[in-house]
Amino acid sequence: MRRKRWWALSAALAAVVALAGCSAPASGTDGSGADGDPQYGGDLVVGLYLEPLALDPHRQGYWETYRVSRNIFEGLTKEDTSGATDPTEIQPSLATDWTTPDGGRTWTFTLREGVTFGDGSPFDAEALDKNVRRISDPTYEYYDEKSAKSLSVWFSTLTAGTVIDDHTYQFSFSQPFLGFPRILAQSMATLTIGNPAVWEQYGNDGFADHPDGTGPYLFESRTVGDRIVLKKNPDYWGDAPYLDSLTFRIIPNNQTRLAALISGEVDLISYVQPEDVQTLESQGFQVPDGTGSSLLYISYNFKNPAFADERVRQALIYGLDRQKLSDELYNGYAQPQYSFEPPGNEAFDPEVRDFEYDPDKAVELLKEAGYGAGDLSFTIVVDVANQNTAEWLQSQYKEIGVDVDIVSLDRTSYIARAYSPEPNDGLSLDEYGGTYAEWLYQGFNGLTGKGLDKSQFPDITSALDAALHTDDAEARIDLWKQAEETLRNDAVVIPTVNLTKYYALGPNVRGFVWPSTNWYDLTKVWLAD
């Protein structure tokens, strides 16, 4: 049962609004202090801006999916989501310890004892092995090609997964992989753990209809296009969450999602629009400051011959005033980004710069490439949530003599068009990133879906491989920084901004923290009376 809400009393809301000049704290509350001790019970309602994809630990896509599924599934490791460390510290989860004797070629994990899945079956080395085989072993009856493809970015060099004993498991790779423990703590394209009994009963495609893991919440129901409901796991191995249940409502429309928060229908929303921040804070809502480990960036359609010319790619970066973008489009609630490694990433360097705003230089490069004013034209493809960004870019590029058309599509159609572009498509807008230095490798390889031919960029490929497969732990981060510089100088992508106001919460939500990740921990969240 949900707790009585502050908003149910119009007088209370009026009192909040009357607090002229007052707003909620800039960061999430810690669940203590003037509000007293945390309270157990209640249903937290979250407004999502996207329909989550499959609730399957090995088929996940979109952060909004993981913000739901991480309550059901866990990994061998996890990130410290207390906000105390930046970059986040890697902590034990379903594994209590891990070691490598040979520079990352072999990893041995000691598994936590006494852990069960939601149906009561044990999590042990055999269960882990079935998860590994599902994504790597074509001889396994429940090998899943979709999952294998999704996780291949990290597991293509896996040569063996070995059960040592009931609570010890070993991964063997053909090349060093020192970043492996942090990769296991991520959201997508990694090995979070599902209950093998479910895919053995319902098949791989049926797992998402009956998702089961070891997490603090259990799946209760899903109505596609409407909501997903989770209930507290009474047998959870870790600290019990405060809330009895979590309800995730799918509300793609920004204004509808905002209205749901203001009316009290939901307690937490993501992807807050910059123009709404001041209104929310003035009415007592919490809009915490933070920098998730992500960035918005612009991808080139490398199938368009114009972008084979490095001068054109550089010109579009020189012609983009990212500080102005942050100030005008995001009302100052964003930071300009000049690197493909985002804030919160273990290899992030805030001092690096690519090609800073210089419209004269942009025009000069375009002229060298054979494009006078109005000669270069292309289409920007975006999803509807980024229509305003596309319009801003259209105006900006007009100033350097580039004509841009806009195609705005729903999310599913956008993904299809971005990866199967039409001949005159030029740019598409994306959001991704992570705390792991290896994101650079993942992000670069993701550009191949936009037509990038890695053989045309041997220096980048070589630098990324050297960083990914080093066996020198002390040199690893420096190698990733060198790879970032190589990628940055070749202008293969346009970093734009990192958002600093992303979530909003009702005044009675306590314990929420926005760490430098792209998700949050709801086990510490509670609702005040």
Does residue 251 come out as left (phi exceeding 0), alpha (psi in the -120 to 50 range) or beta? beta
- Chain-centroid distance, C-alpha 205: 24
Q: 262-286 burial by CB neighbour count: b if 16+ within 10 A, else e?
A: bebbbbbbbbbbbebbeebbbbbbb
CA distance 233 to 216: 5
Give the DSSP per-residue string, 27-39.
Answer: S---S-GGG-S--
443-448 own/partner pairs: CB under 8 Å, 24+ apart: 443/340, 443/493, 444/340, 444/487, 444/492, 445/153, 447/299, 447/300, 447/302, 447/492, 447/493
Residue 166 main-chain phi, psi, to 5 deg: -55, -30
Residue ranges for the chain with pLDDT beneath 50? 1-34
Mention every residue, 6+ apart, whose C-beta is less than 8 A from residue 213: 57, 72, 73, 74, 117, 118, 192, 193, 194, 195
- The beta-strand segments (E) located in 275-316 are 295-300
pLDDT, residue 4, reads 40
Quote the Cα angle for 93-95-96, to 5°. 90
pLDDT, residue 86, reads 86
Q: CATH homologous superfamily for 295-499?
A: Dipeptide-binding Protein; Domain 3 (3.10.105.10)
How is domain 38-72+215-290+501-528 classified at the architecture level of CATH? 3-Layer(aba) Sandwich (3.40)
* The length of the chain, given as a count of residues: 529
CA distance 354 to 68: 36
Range list for CATH 3.40.190.10 in the chain: 38-72+215-290+501-528
Which tokens belong to 29? 């509350």
CA distance 425 to 428: 8
pLDDT, residue 453, reads 96
> Whole-prediction pTM value?
0.91
CA distance 487 to 339: 9
Range list for CATH 3.90.76.10 in the chain: 78-83+91-196
pLDDT, residue 190, reads 95
Q: Are 176 and 470 in contact (CB under 8 A)?
A: yes
CA distance 448 to 419: 9
Fold of 78-83+91-196: Dipeptide-binding Protein; domain 1 (3.90.76)
pLDDT, residue 35, reads 57
Which tokens belong to 201? 């009963």
Q: What three-state secondary structure class fits 312? A: helix
Of the candidates 190, 230, 202, the one whose C-alpha atom is nearest the C-alpha of residue 90 is 190
CA distance 331 to 324: 10
pLDDT, residue 392, reads 97
CA distance 75 to 98: 13
Quote the Cα angle for 529-31-27, to 5°. 110
Range list for CATH 3.10.105.10 in the chain: 295-499
